[in-house]
Structure 1
Amino acid sequence: MRIALIGCGAVTQAVYVPLLSRRRDLFEVTAVCDLSRTLADAVADRLGAPGRYTALEDMLDAGGFEAVLVLASGSHGETVRRALAVGHAVLCEKPLALTRAEVAALPEGRLMVGYMKQYDPAVRRAEELLAELGGAGVIRAVEVTVLHPSGESQLAFANLTQARDVDAGVLDSLRAAERELTTRAVGESEPVRSLYGISLGSICHDLSLLRRFTGSPAEISHVETWGPAPGSVEISGPLPAQGRFSIRWHYLEDYPAYRETVAIHHDTGTLELVFPAPYLMNAPTTLTVVSGAESRTEYRDVTEAFEVQLAAFHAFVRDGKPPLTDVGGALEDIVTAQRIAARYAVQHGLPIGGEAA
């Protein structure tokens, strides 16, 4: 499958370039696009891609590919809209967009939204075991803890090419556009905006897992934040079938390593997932199964979740196999993030605007 990459930053260089290099049986990268010509050339050189662009419209006009991977930072709504409009299949990194309006404006087309943790072998095994136990109706609680060090420390090993050739005015314009989208989503309150950014930028991974295990929460009961920005976040509420969930997310600048734990407590035991740093290829997630008589079983698989996700995209485009997250699932996560923002605003007497109001 001939594909194009949009965005040549950290996740592209650290994750997608090595994976696409070793999955040439599935993909041929024919074009890359980034605002930085330095980054576009660096990624294109590593993948042997002839097309190098700094403007999306130029790449779409030139064509020569059937699918697009949208890997840039920020909201992806407009980029995805333009790629779908000219007939390309799209794999879009989370979040799909910052507003519900962007999602509503998308044309019909083949769209898969990337939440790689849904494709983790340990997560899929946990889903199977949960189904055998009786599904969401047996869950008493889902407890999530995320310890999030700085992005720089997580990526120090990757020797990333840096972009220093993008016009400052262009960057200012993009930042202004992002601010406007966030205003349309949740209004002007800076604490609410910060929380919304964390929810869609990081906690959305945990929302996507809740979506798979239990369904998206229809209600948010409590939200609290504390500590130096971006600080710590606590979110809780009822699950759709029964039981409750809690998410505790902590940004710890100098914490030794990223760590994420998702514990599903059910009537007869616990399924506990411990995720490693997401940028370490083939580092296994550990699933610990606690059952009767204090029996403990550990499951590990070094199959890389990002690689499984890429193979799933290939199967989606070529064979029509539905993705785990389509436009509907991505929209659910945006709605949940807006509910989180609205609950926080109400609890703390802050203004809430935009779609979240």
Structure 2
Amino acid sequence: MKVALVGCGAVTQAVYVPLLSRRRELFEVTAVCDLSRTLAGAVGDRLGVARRHTELGEMLAEGGFDAVLMLASGSHGEPVRQALAAGYAVLCEKPLALTEAEVAALPEGRLMVGYMKQYDPAVRRAEELLAELGGAAVIRSVEVTVLHPSAEAQLGFANLTQARDVDAAPLRAAEDAILDRALGAEAGPQVRSVYSVALGSICHDLSLLRRFTGSPVKVDHVETWGSLPGSIEISGPLPVAGRYSIRWHYLEDYPAYRETVAVHHDSGTLELAFPAPYLMNAPTVLTAVSGAETRAEYRDVTEAFETQMLAFHAFVTSGKPPLTDAAGALEDIVTAQRIAARYAVQHDLALGGEAGDR
């Protein structure tokens, strides 16, 4: 399958370039696109791709590929709209967009949204075990803890090419304009930070909640402390039974990313311990605890990002539905807006836009 890459930054260099290089029997990269000529050149060199673009419309018009991997940072709403309108299948890294309006503007087409943790073999095994136990109805609580170092700390091993030939100010202004539509122009830095963390990082945990029990329908409590982005605590009821709690901590100098998701049910616990997301083939460990302290561990070094890429290939070539489409991504946007709205109400902070109606 011939694919084009849009966005040649950290995740592309650290994850997608190695994966695409070793799965050449399934994927041929025929074009790359980035606002930075430096990044487009670096990724083009590593993949042996001659067609290097700095303008998405030009690349889409030239064609020569079947699908687009949308890997740039920020909101992907408008570039995904352009790619779908041009007739291409799209794998879009999370988040799909920052507003409900961007999702509503998408045309019909083949769209898969990438939440790689949903494709982790330990997560899939946890889903199977939970189903055997009785599914969402037996859940007492889902408790999430994320310890999040700086991006530089997580990616120090990757020797990334940096972009120094792009003025970031217009990009920040465009993103702020989209956030204005999501949160209202008067929303302050605290609300914007909570929303950005929810859609940029906590969305992975929201995607797991969707798999285990469905998206939360209510957010009861949101608190933050420490210098932005600091620490965030979120809790509320699950849609079938039980409650969820999420504690996310930005710890700039923490030695390694760590994330645990514990599903406590009527007869025990299923706990997932995730490694740093950019370390290829590092296993997620699933520990199942049941009666009389019986413990069983499951781990698999199959790379979640690679399994996600294989799922995208099956989606495009044989129509197998993805685990998350536009509707699933929209659920996460709505949940993130409810998180921002609850935080604003609790602290008497300004809020408008789409989140003002949540």
Residue of 169, 172, 175 corresponding to 1:175: 172
Residue of 176, 183, 186 corresponding to 1:186: 183
Q: Which residue of 1 aligns with 2:28?
A: 28
Q: Which residue of 2 aligns with 1:233?
A: 232
Q: Which residue of 2 aligns with 1:353?
A: 352
Q: Which residue of 2 aligns with 1:15?
A: 15
AA aligned opposite 2:171: L
Counterpart of 1:354 in 2: which secondary structure? coil
AA aligned opposite 2:213: T
Counterpart of 2:31 in 1: which secondary structure? strand
Residue 189 of structure 1, CA deviation: 2.1
AA aligned opposite 1:98: L
Structure 1 moving runs of 4+ over 6 Å? none
Q: Which residue of 1 aligns with 2:60?
A: 60
Q: Which residue of 2 aligns with 1:200?
A: 199
- Taking the TM superposition and a 5 Å limit, the aligned residue runs for 1:159-308 are 159-166=159-166, 168=167, 171-187=168-184, 188-308=187-307
CA contact (8 A) 2:142 2:244 kept: yes
- Taking the TM superposition and a 5 Å limit, the aligned residue runs for 1:92-131 are 92-131=92-131
AA aligned opposite 2:243: R
AA aligned opposite 1:148: H
AA aligned opposite 2:14: A
Residue 228 of structure 1, CA deviation: 1.2
Residue 175 of structure 1, CA deviation: 1.1
Query: Quick one: distance in 1 between partners of 2:284 and 2:231?
Result: 24
Query: Quick one: distance in 1 between partners of 2:131 and 2:87?
Result: 37
AA aligned opposite 1:265: H
Identity, % of aligned positions: 79
Q: Which residue of 2 aligns with 1:335?
A: 334
AA aligned opposite 2:277: P
AA aligned opposite 1:29: V
In the alignment of these two chains, the number of paired residues is: 354
- Taking structure 2 as the reference length, what is the TM-score of the superposition? 0.98
Query: Quick one: distance in 2 between partners of 1:247 and 1:37?
Result: 39
Counterpart of 1:179 in 2: which secondary structure? helix
CA RMSD of aligned residues (A): 0.6
Query: Quick one: distance in 2 between partners of 1:289 and 1:338?
Result: 33
Gaps of 5+ in 1: none
Query: Quick one: distance in 1 between partners of 2:72 and 2:228?
Result: 24
AA aligned opposite 2:172: R
Q: Which residue of 2 aligns with 1:313?
A: 312
Query: Quick one: distance in 2 between partners of 1:86 and 1:62?
Result: 11
Residue 44 of structure 1, CA deviation: 0.9
- Taking structure 1 as the reference length, what is the TM-score of the superposition? 0.98
Counterpart of 2:354 in 1: which secondary structure? helix
CA contact (8 A) 2:235 2:245 kept: yes
AA aligned opposite 2:326: V
Residue 217 of structure 1, CA deviation: 0.3
Q: Which residue of 2 aligns with 1:5?
A: 5
Cα deviation, 1:99-124, whole Å, max 9, x if unaligned, reads 00000000000000000000000000
CA contact (8 A) 2:256 2:276 kept: yes
- Taking the TM superposition and a 5 Å limit, the aligned residue runs for 1:58-97 are 58-97=58-97
Residue 50 of structure 1, CA deviation: 2.1
Residue 273 of structure 1, CA deviation: 0.0
Residue 28 of structure 1, CA deviation: 0.1
Gaps of 5+ in 2: none
Query: Quick one: distance in 2 between partners of 1:324 and 1:69?
Result: 16
Cα deviation, 1:255-298, whole Å, max 9, x if unaligned, reads 11000000000000000000000000000000000011111000
Query: Quick one: distance in 2 between partners of 1:322 and 1:247?
Result: 29
Compare 312-321 and 47-56 and name the one that shifted more: 47-56
Query: Quick one: distance in 2 between partners of 1:8 and 1:304?
Result: 20
AA aligned opposite 1:39: L
Residue 197 of structure 1, CA deviation: 0.4
Compare 245-254 and 45-54 and name the one that shifted more: 45-54
Residue 49 of structure 1, CA deviation: 1.4
CA contact (8 A) 2:190 2:228 kept: no
